[in-house]
């Protein structure tokens, strides 16, 4: 019988456009030390570590996790690296949950870290072209990458297909309002990259087009930072909670799905993110959730792009496909509405340090469940070409 698994410690570093003063080793140390302190534990109390590190080229090494093992004090213990594109952090949490639920370990660390803007383009004397080029190697290297594949135009294909299928949805004034709402929510997140970058819907609408239909203020930002969680099986988790005085936040549902990475007949259905739909359905079934809008109090959805956020919320069953704008038009996510969406500011305003991002999202959901005395939260991760990967986790507070 699978063991019950709960989060007993969590920490993030500030997410920044550039950590000039810290290496990725040091960012990993910071997040680890603070997560262990939050759980009242020392490295000797941890049985193993699951690393969430998306991109080797960012860290300039093909095995970026190997120097971290001793640096964070877990030498001679289990260590495994997970890399699943933008969904790396969520998949890392899924892997850690599986090992602990299976009885392999009593308590483990999840550590996500990314140093994206160590990349540098000496022709433009800026990081951006090299970061985009580096992410481009995530696409098909025989065809897509050579054509100039980027994450933005990949997701834009899905969004434009959705808009063809549902031409009345994803209206510009709605996506602009969601971006403005996220910017306001980031104000209370002291770790957010854009904590004080509040914008109005009008400013979003007037920002430049990056890739049709994405405007500059509707897309995530590249970040550097780290995030860590400590999870434990039930008996250990309750003992830790008794020591720290913090409640356990249980992982009650997990679902994952990887769809086809190519468009076309019998391949990817371009106007859908089926991976999100399947992952959510599996997580709800495991957690016993029938109606997510009635059961879930807080959601941290992977918002690489506002339009994709809306589609994902529909795929996860919070609003109907074709009527995702009801998130705003029916007041579902507005202040005082029934659903708290991306209270940390999401990846657009808190930042997107890829391997750490979904772990940061779990940190945020845990904080909100405890602080607001809410019962149920959802963490979502997506990634890879045309939103191929989807992960959904349900977190519950006793």
The residue with greater pLDDT, 146 or 328, is 328
Residue 58 confidence class, pLDDT cut points 50, 70, 90: confident
Question: Angle, to 10 degrees, between the axis of helix 234-244 and the axis of helix 24-39?
Answer: 80
Domain that holds residue 51: 5-119+222-244
Tokens encoding 112: 């996500």
Distances (CA, A) of 76 to 39, 49, 68, 195, 298: 22, 11, 12, 39, 38
Share of the chain above pLDDT 90, in %: 83
Give 83's strand partners: none
Q: Is residue 256 part of a domain?
A: no
In a domain? residue 381: no
Does any domain span residue 36? yes
pLDDT computed for residue 150 by the predictor? 80
Mean pLDDT throughout 175-180? 98
pTM: 0.96
Let me know if residue 252 belongs to a domain.
no
Q: What is the CATH number of the domain that holds 15?
A: 3.40.47.10
Model pLDDT for residues 73-91, shown as the tens digit of each residue = 999 999 999 999 999 999 9
Specify whether the backbone of 169 is left (phi greater than 0), alpha (psi in -120 to 50) or beta: beta
Q: Is residue 110 part of a domain?
A: yes
Q: For residue 96, is it within any domain?
A: yes
**pLDDT over 80 (residue 166):** yes
Q: Does 20 reside within a domain?
A: yes
Q: If pLDDT is split at 50, 70 and 90, which confidence band does 385 have?
A: confident
User: Which residues 6+ apart lie within 8 Å of 352 measured at CB?
Assistant: 86, 220, 221, 222, 223, 304
Number of domains in the chain: 1
Do the domain assignments include residue 18?
Answer: yes
């Amino acid at each position: 019988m699978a063991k019950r698994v709960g989060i007993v410690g969590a920490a993030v570093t500030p997410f920044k456009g550039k950590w000039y003063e810290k290496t990725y080793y040091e960012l990993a140390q910071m997040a680890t030390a603070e997560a262990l302190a939050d759980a009242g534990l020392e490295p000797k109390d941890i049985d193993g570590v699951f690393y969430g590190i998306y991109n080797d080229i960012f860290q300039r090494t093909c095995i970026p996790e190997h120097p971290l093992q001793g640096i964070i004090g877990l030498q001679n213990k289990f260590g495994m690296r997970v890399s699943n594109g933008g969904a790396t952090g969520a998949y890392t949490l899924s892997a850690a949950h599986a090992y602990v639920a299976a009885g392999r370990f009593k308590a483990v660390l999840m550590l996500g870290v990314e140093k994206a803007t160590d990349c540098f383009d000496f022709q433009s004397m800026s990081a951006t072209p090299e970061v985009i080029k580096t992410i481009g190697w995530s696409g098909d290297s025989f065809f897509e990458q050579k054509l100039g594949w980027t994450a933005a135009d990949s997701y834009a294909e899905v969004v434009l297909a959705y808009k063809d299928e549902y031409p009345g949805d994803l209206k510009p004034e709605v996506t602009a309002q969601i971006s403005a709402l996220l910017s306001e929510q980031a104000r209370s997140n002291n770790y957010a990259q854009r904590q004080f970058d509040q914008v109005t819907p009008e400013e979003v609408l007037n920002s430049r087009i990056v890739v049709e239909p994405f405007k500059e203020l509707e897309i995530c930002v590249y970040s550097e930072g780290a995030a860590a969680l400590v999870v434990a099986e039930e008996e250990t988790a309750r003992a830790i909670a008794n020591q720290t005085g913090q409640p356990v936040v249980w992982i009650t549902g997990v679902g994952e799905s990887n769809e086809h990475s190519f468009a076309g007949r019998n391949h990817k259905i371009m106007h859908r993110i089926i991976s999100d739909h399947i992952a959510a359905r599996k997580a709800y079934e495991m957690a016993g959730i029938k109606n997510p809008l009635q059961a879930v109090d807080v959601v941290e959805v992977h918002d690489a792009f506002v339009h994709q956020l809306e589609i994902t919320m529909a795929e996860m069953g919070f609003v109907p496909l074709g009527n995702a704008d009801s998130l705003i038009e029916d007041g579902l996510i507005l202040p005082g509405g029934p659903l708290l969406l991306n209270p940390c500011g999401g990846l657009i305003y808190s930042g997107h340090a890829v391997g750490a991002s979904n772990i940061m999202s779990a940190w945020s959901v845990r904080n909100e469940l405890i602080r607001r005395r809410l019962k149920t939260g959802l963490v979502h991760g997506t990634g890879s070409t045309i939103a191929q990967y989807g992960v959904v986790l349900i977190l519950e507070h006793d």
